[in-house]
Structure 1
Amino acid sequence: MRPVASPLPIRCWPLSDRDQHTSPAGPSGTPASVTLTTDPADADELAAVAALTFPLACPPELSATDAAHFVADNLSTHHFRSHLADPDSHVFKAVEPESSAIVGYALLLDGEPTDPDVCEAITARPLTMISKMYVLPGFHGRAVSAGLMDAALSHGRTRHSALVWLGVNEQNVRAQRFYEKMGFTVMGRKSFIVNGKRCSDYVLARPPAV
């Protein structure tokens, strides 16, 4: 695995583990908690958070309609129910204690990458993918993302994954900075299709343990 030099820094929104994790306080002053969920009753709320947060990570060339198509095709209540029931999918939710509202989530997928560009960029196995990681805007900057990321890396260690990897849009500088701070390195590039439009992503990875 040879890191690829990146002209940009890095950005994101995070994850967690099978044990409960806490993040610095949200608006209520009480720390948000991050837990693994398999409860189908969470699917509606997870889908609502996904619909609000996915557009925030889209590059400028994608319209609101493009984002809405992607959400409908990939992040609906039905899709989350499927992930919650799939033993190779792991959904972590960040919950604001006073309201019990989900304020962020992460979706991890274990297994072989299906994208040939990722397979070329990362040869180590086994792998855990951070497929999605988003936090509601009102909770940005409160380390909810860091709590989610801690959980993701903990999951990777539990599974004995060689690397935890993810894709981030080349224009998403804020997320790139976050991932860089979390120890991720640019390994290559791949395409990400949204409503038929091809976007350019960096492929980032790091060992789950340091």
Structure 2
Amino acid sequence: MLIETVTDPGLAPAIADVAAATFPLACPPHSTPENIAAHIEQVLSAARFAEYLADPRKQVLVARTGAGGPIVGYALLVHDLPADPDVRAAVDAFPAGAAAVANGTVTEISKMYVLPEHHAVHSELRPSHALMNAALDAARDRGATLVWLGVHSGNERAKRYYAKMGFRQIGTKSFNMNGAIEHDFVLARES
């Protein structure tokens, strides 16, 4: 499995395709197809990924099956302080969180998804583990001492995975998906 940071806006459509295929899998069962489609269009389109790729505060990692192979997963990191007041309060209360906020050494794993046919790859280099390890390395490389993410409160599979990767719940936040208010857990760990 090859994990790399990408900056080429020409890759935005391929990353958006993976996002469109994977985001619905993480949505709660009550999410409407219309809300999912609107979220994909507003947040996960090729145009939005081109913006993410150009933003110096953001970093896009992709997982490929090998050099030049197809993209099978991606992660979007935000190397900046949390803007959401609920997240900011939770991060401040986390051990070492106040220092991380004061020093500006916080990274969010905003998105991390892998195509479903690669979820059950049984090896040390499965895409999800390789992406997470690369994301944590990238956060450390940018000076982050704390990494946080949001996960839907009902996504048991993702919560188990993040716990295995050393994250623990530190708070909650609301997520607006095209007018539908969803509830996320805020998870964090030291990088």
Per the alignment, residue 153 of structure 2 pairs with: 170
Per the alignment, residue 189 of structure 1 pairs with: 172
Unaligned runs of 5+ in 1: 1-31
Per the alignment, residue 160 of structure 1 pairs with: 143
**Count of aligned pairs between the two proteins:** 177
How big is each residue's C-alpha offset from its partner over 1:126-145, in whole Å with a ceiling of 9 and x where there is no partner? 21000000000110022210
Write the distance in 2 (CA, Å) between the matches of 1:121 and 1:103. 32
CA contact (8 A) 2:21 2:115 kept: yes
Tell me the TM-score normalized by structure 1.
Answer: 0.82
Identity over the aligned pairs, expressed in percent?
47
1:204 aligned counterpart, secondary structure: strand
Task: Say whether 1:117 aligns with 2:77.
Answer: no
The one of 103, 110, 117 aligned to 2:72: 103
Write the distance in 1 (CA, Å) between the matches of 2:68 and 2:106. 35
Of 165-174 and 139-148, more deviation after overlay is shown by 139-148
Write the distance in 1 (CA, Å) between the matches of 2:164 and 2:80. 25
Per the alignment, residue 5 of structure 2 pairs with: 36
How far the C-alpha of 1:99 sits from its partner, in A, is: 7.0
The structure whose RCO (Cα within 8 Å, separation 6+) is larger is 1
How big is each residue's C-alpha offset from its partner over 1:67-111, in whole Å with a ceiling of 9 and x where there is no partner? 110000011111001111111110000112287110100000011
2:110 partner amino acid: S
CA contact (8 A) 2:86 2:173 kept: yes
More helix by share: 2
Unaligned runs of 5+ in 2: none
Per the alignment, residue 55 of structure 2 pairs with: 86
Write the distance in 2 (CA, Å) between the matches of 1:115 and 1:67. 22
Instruction: Give the CA RMSD over aligned residues.
Output: 1.1
Task: Say whether 1:134 aligns with 2:117.
Answer: no
How big is each residue's C-alpha offset from its partner over 1:143-176, in whole Å with a ceiling of 9 and x where there is no partner? 2100000011101211221210000001000000
CA contact (8 A) 2:63 2:127 kept: yes
1:73 partner amino acid: Q
Task: Say whether 1:58 aligns with 2:27.
Answer: yes
**Change in 2 beyond 3 A, CA 1:157/1:104:** same
Tell me the TM-score normalized by structure 2.
Answer: 0.90
CA contact (8 A) 2:15 2:71 kept: yes
